[in-house]
Amino acid sequence: MRILFHLPLSPYCRKVRLVLAEKKLPFELRAERVWERREEYLALNPAATVPALVEENGLTIPDSAVICEYLDEAYPDFNLIGLTHAQRVETRRLVAWFDGKFDAEVTRNLNGQKYIRRIAGRGHPDASALRTGYTELRTHLQYIGWLAETRKWLAGSMMSLADLTAAAHLSVLDFQGDVDWNVSAAAREWYARIKSRPSFRPLLNDRVPGITPPAHYADLDF
């Protein structure tokens, strides 16, 4: 069986879980406490990050971006990047936007401070990072709303890796009650659409010791 090493509240791991599920590829999840630097895991992925995917034939693929490119090449039936050069550029531009800019401005300031610092035993969240995170999140929600209003899905007429990437980041923040969905009705409507997909169900069932998600987290008609 294909194995995915992951952490439940990592947006990068959630993205890969969504891609695998959308492509209907079965896999077994294994939680990897990367900060413990387990030797067998370092041999598998010297960068000591999650996610890492191990295929049944032994091929080991670390890094969510590398995994997603690999999965779209190896299992092309349900294409998630796009068919034309322009579509592929737009999907990857938005993936880089959410994994780069959104991550630096929002995810690290909120999830990084509230969750990652706690599980890694690095103390309390920094108040100014949280303030920055909440402010930047409003701007990003407006951008997502604008994209969702002018297109069917974030990168165009097809549901793509851009939607799954953005939704993976937002799902981690939403789990911790950090998303004010009143900022953009269009972003909220887009997220409700993504969240209703069968691929999302396992993410909504994740539970993490010490965090109670808000009532709307797993509610498809929130």
Instruction: Measure Cα distances from 89 to 31, 96, 97, 108, 144 in Å.
Output: 33, 10, 12, 25, 18
Q: Is 31 in the site for a copy of itself (CB under 8 A)?
A: no
SS (H, E, C) the chain: CCEEEECCCCHHHHHHHHHHHHCCCCCEEEECCHHHCCHHHHHHCCCCCCCEEECCCCCEEECHHHHHHHHHHHCCCCCCCCCCHHHHHHHHHHHHHHHHHHHHHHHHHHHHHHHHHHHCCCCCCCHHHHHHHHHHHHHHHHHHHHHHHHCCECCECCCCHHHHHHHHHHHHHHHCCCCCHHHCHHHHHHHHHHHCCHHHHHHHHCCECCECCCCCCCCCCC
Choice between 58 and 209, CB closer to a copy of itself: 58
Q: Which residues from 49-88 bind a copy of itself, rule CB under 8 A?
A: 59-63, 65-66, 69-70, 73-74, 85-86, 88
At closest approach, how far in Å is the CB of 208 from a copy of itself?
A: 25
Q: Is 122 in the site for a copy of itself (CB under 8 A)?
A: no
At closest approach, how far in Å is the CB of 213 from a copy of itself?
A: 29
Q: Is 47 in the site for a copy of itself (CB under 8 A)?
A: yes
Which stretch in 92-100, 113-121, 177-185, 187-195 sits in contact with a copy of itself by CB under 8 A?
92-100
Q: Which of 24, 93, 152, 216 binds a copy of itself (CB under 8 A)?
A: 93
At closest approach, how far in Å is the CB of 184 from a copy of itself?
A: 17
Choice between 165 and 176, CB closer to a copy of itself: 165
Choice between 143 and 217, CB closer to a copy of itself: 143
Choice between 90 and 174, CB closer to a copy of itself: 90
**Number of residues located near a copy of itself, criterion CB under 8 A:** 22
| Contact between residue 99 and residue 91 where contact means Cβ atoms under 8 Å apart | no
Instruction: List interacting residues with a copy of itself (CB under 8 A).
Output: 47, 59-63, 65-66, 69-70, 73-74, 85-86, 88-89, 92-93, 96-97, 100-101
